[in-house]
Amino acid sequence: MVIYSMQATLFVAAYFLRFESDLTILAFVTTFFVLSITIMQLAVRSGWRLRDASGAAAASALSRILTVIQQPKLLPWYSYLAIVSALTVYAALIVLERPHSAAIFAYSSSHYSPSRSAFW
């Protein structure tokens, strides 16, 4: 929730600073990030936590899925799967686009007349 609040703050600030000089915007962003990093460092040094990892949260379905996904022996397989999936989607988009392009090419070449060309 904290990260979303920070993002919303930056979004609202960008709206209000849209007509300001670059130096003002740079000063605001620098101040914002220096304060953010300072607050996070103070939280780490004091040992502050948003919440402890309880047994119920640690055993959630999402944490179990992430534990399985992050196993080093499975990462190459997931990478290959992602590459093959992306290439398949890309190839499907190219193939689905092909008839439309071919129809335009056929139409344009059937209506082309050398007598209308500027080079003849």
Q: Each residue of 34-83: pLDDT tens digit?
A: 998 898 888 888 888 766 655 555 578 888 878 877 787 877 888 888 89
How many structural domains compose the chain? 2
Q: What is the greatest pairwise CA distance in the chain? A: 84
Q: Tell me what the pLDDT averaged over the chain comes to.
A: 78
Are residues 6 and 45 both part of a single domain?
yes
Q: Scan for tokens 């990478």, then name that residue.
A: 79
Give the global pTM. Answer: 0.42
User: Pick the residue with more confidence: 97 or 47?
Assistant: 47
Domain that holds residue 7: 1-49
Model confidence at 110, in pLDDT bands (50, 70, 90)? low
Are residues 6 and 42 both part of a single domain?
yes
Q: Assess if residue 14 is contained within a domain.
A: yes
Are residues 72 and 43 both part of a single domain?
no
Are residues 36 and 74 both part of a single domain?
no
Q: Assess if residue 55 is contained within a domain.
A: no
Looking at residues 4-24, what average pLDDT do you find?
92
Q: Assess if residue 27 is contained within a domain.
A: yes
Are residues 77 and 37 both part of a single domain?
no
User: Pick the residue with more confidence: 10 or 61?
Assistant: 10
Compute the radius of gyration of the chain from its Cα atoms: 28
pLDDT higher than threshold 70 for residue 5:
yes
Are residues 73 and 29 both part of a single domain?
no
* Exposure of 24 in the CB half-sphere (CA atoms within 13 A): 8
The set of residues, in sequence order, having a beta carbon less than 8 Å from that of 51 and lying 6+ positions away, is: 57
Are 29 and 11 within 8 A, CB to CB?
A: no
Q: Which helix (H) or strand (E) holds 62?
A: helix 61-69
Q: Assess if residue 62 is contained within a domain.
A: no
Q: What letter would DSSP give residue 1?
A: -
Are residues 30 and 2 both part of a single domain?
yes
Model confidence at 17, in pLDDT bands (50, 70, 90)? very high
Looking at residues 77-101, what average pLDDT do you find?
80
Q: Assess if residue 31 is contained within a domain.
A: yes
